[in-house]
Amino acid sequence: MLAQLQTSGAVHWLGRQLFNREDPAAFFDPLLERIDPLLTRQTIRARVISVTDETPDTKTFVLEPAGRWQGFRAGQHIALTLEINGVRRTRTFSLSGTPAQWRQNGTIAVTVKRIQGGQVTGWMHECLEPGATLSVSDAFGDFDIPDVAEPAIYIVGGSGITPVLSHLETMAADGYRAPVTLLYYVRTHQDIIARDRLEALAQHWPALALKIFTTEEAGSDQRLNDHQLNQVPGLNARRCFLCGPEGLMDLAGDLLHRRNIPEDRIHCTRFSAPTVELDGDNLGGQVQFAKSGKQTESLGDASILDIAEASGLSPKHGCRMGICHQCSCRKTSGTVVNRLTGKTSGQGEETIQLCVSVPAGAVSIDL
């Protein structure tokens, strides 16, 4: 009942009359949070349904997002926002379940490797339990399954398997007929994530050839090499999907380029966005947040998203890596440098991504 009222024009009118604001959600959310956190309107919340150990340092969290969450395509990511010791922290994770699972029972899954020293992944492993709630963004990313079935190769390392699991299970369920090879690199056998799911796929889906290599096991160093690629039939005609740590991605990209596989047939999804070296001397400046009337001085290569948050603002964002465009915002004047490309913007009005834009002199943002 409250949820319905919340979305109605009447409540917006009431919010305007009582609080002189267009966003009554800001006032009602604390109340809704107490009744059921999934009813809140300012952010989309999800409840943790289960937590499962995959390997000694990797767990799968099954989440049930609020009903108004929009769904996803296999290979996409979401940003999760968690409150850890009173501080809200946002991180991006690939979805490891399938869209079919979400349609059938309303749940999604993220498979999270604990990063050494990682504040968020460490906390999730130790403290995030069934029943807890967190905020989820819309899904984003374009690491998509080919529209038409064609031969494919996946070169994957460690927890890079998570979006690929979603791809493969979706392809198998849809009866994808072209041959698919998965070369999966892990340090040791105990680091294989979702081994049972992968073996079940290989058993029931004849199109899939599954090969798992260990790179740090006693007596074996099976790093990606040309010999392994030579064993993949018709490699040059395959669509290539890469996912994993930077070193493996760079090596795979290099080996595939040397075989003259065109760039537009190689699809990558990375754990972090590549960045270019920026000239620190020209970075920083006065940042004006026009709508909120805040003004601050930035030094060095802090992004405008970080600067806004440090000023007490909460701009919309998702991945913090320049992928999802959820942080897009108008710059009304001044120049910014794009962290991903190193390119400098014009002086005038334009849309920028806050998370990868660094001020180069005084800038004004419509925030």
Binding site for ligand FES (CB under 6 A): 317-320, 322-327, 353, 355
Closest approach of ligand FES to the CB of residue 317, in Å: 4
CA 7, 11, 15, 18: dihedral to nearest 10 degrees? -160
Strands 180-186 and 208-214: what pairing? Answer: parallel
Closest approach of ligand FES to the CB of residue 213, in Å: 33
Residue closer to ligand FES by CB (options 97, 322) is 322
Residue closer to ligand FES by CB (options 11, 352) is 352
- Rounded CA-CA distance 280/282 in Å is 6
Residue closer to ligand FES by CB (options 65, 322) is 322
Residue closer to ligand FES by CB (options 55, 269) is 269
Q: How far is CA 114 from CA 61, 117, 124, 134, 172, in A?
A: 13, 9, 8, 18, 29
Residue closer to ligand FES by CB (options 133, 303) is 303
- Comparing CA positions, the residue from 61, 57, 35, 60 lying closest to residue 47 is 61
Closest approach of ligand FES to the CB of residue 338, in Å: 11
Beta bridge partners of 153: 181, 240
Closest approach of ligand FES to the CB of residue 289, in Å: 17
Q: What is the per-residue DSSP string for 61-98?
A: EEEEE-TT-----TT-EEEEEEEETTEEEEEEEEB-S-
Residue closer to ligand FES by CB (options 155, 355) is 355
- Rounded CA-CA distance 72/261 in Å is 29
Closest approach of ligand FES to the CB of residue 193, in Å: 25
Residue closer to ligand FES by CB (options 251, 323) is 323
- Rounded CA-CA distance 51/25 in Å is 31
Q: Are 281 and 360 in contact (CB under 8 A)?
A: no
Q: In which residue are the tokens 């996946």 written? A: 154
Phi, psi of 21 (to 5 degrees): -135, 155
Closest approach of ligand FES to the CB of residue 324, in Å: 4
Residue closer to ligand FES by CB (options 49, 278) is 278
Q: 357 — alpha (psi -120 to 50), left (phi > 0) or beta?
A: beta
Residue closer to ligand FES by CB (options 217, 309) is 309
**73 contact partners, CB below 8 Å, separation of at least 6:** 99, 139, 144, 145
Closest approach of ligand FES to the CB of residue 177, in Å: 35
Closest approach of ligand FES to the CB of residue 115, in Å: 20
Closest approach of ligand FES to the CB of residue 351, in Å: 12
- The helix/strand/coil state of 158 is helix
- Rounded CA-CA distance 120/136 in Å is 15
